[in-house]
Amino acid sequence: MNDCSFIPTGPMPATTAARRTPRSQHTGDKRDLILKAATKLFARRGFFNAQVADVAREAGVAAGTVYLYFQSKDDLLISIFERTMHEGLEAARQALAGVSDPVERLRRLALVHLERLGQDRDLAVVFQVELRQSTKFMERFSSTLLQDYLHAIRDAVADAQTAGRFRREVSPTFAAKVLYGALDEMATNWILSRRRYALAAQANEVVDLFVNGMTT
């Protein structure tokens, strides 16, 4: 399982809005501009307080233009999630290319996770806080693209168990959720903390603690 086959090798699935929109460089640029504006406003005002008109104003486009690319404010939020996860999975694919050692794979996954969120505070706030305001969305969050990421951790754990490096009595799926939960908490603590520090710097500490707890 060390060939990282858990990550889709073909084109990432397009969002509903992306499928409706004609493909062109201009279209992609404007869509990205709107998503960046939405990310900033959702992070700083809160999803429920921000309006589509506010997003349009921040992006420098007419309010009606937003609806050419997105069905609703909810669609904007979902699109931020999908784009972030697609980009994260691609970054993970690149980070794991040619890496067979399971512990090193865990380190690289953790680094990608925290590095990406640590580079964009607004995105981190949306991802850690605003995306989780709705139970309905959380059900979708837990059953879609997140599973690919959890499978990556699970496969690395299972490979380490097969190699005799990790305890076999621990479920790989359970262990994957524990490690993800630790990384998730580090990201949330980072956005809530008054201190300013590099989030990615905590990746090794989290993995070391996890590995030491799993080691035979």
3-state secondary structure of 129: coil
Tell me the per-residue pLDDT of 90-147, one tens digit each, with 9 for 90 and over. Answer: 999 999 999 999 999 999 999 999 999 999 999 999 999 998 887 767 776 666 678 8
Where residue 15 falls (left for φ over 0; alpha for ψ -120 to 50; beta otherwise) is beta
pTM > 0.75: yes
Nearest to 152 by CA among 204, 94, 199: 94
Contact 166, 160 (CB under 8 A): yes
3-state secondary structure of 215: strand
Token reading at 120: 């964009």
Q: CB under 8 Å to 117, separation ≥6 — which residues?
A: 123, 124, 127, 128, 187, 190, 199
Task: Tell me the domains of the chain and their CATH numbers.
Answer: 16-214 (1.10.357.10)
Tell me the residue type at 208: D
Q: CB under 8 Å to 9, separation ≥6 — which residues?
A: none
Tell me the per-residue pLDDT of 149-188, one tens digit each, with 9 for 90 and over. Answer: 899 999 999 999 999 999 999 999 999 999 999 999 999 9
Measured from the Cβ of residue 55, the count of other Cβ atoms closer than 10 Å reads 24
Token reading at 192: 């809530």
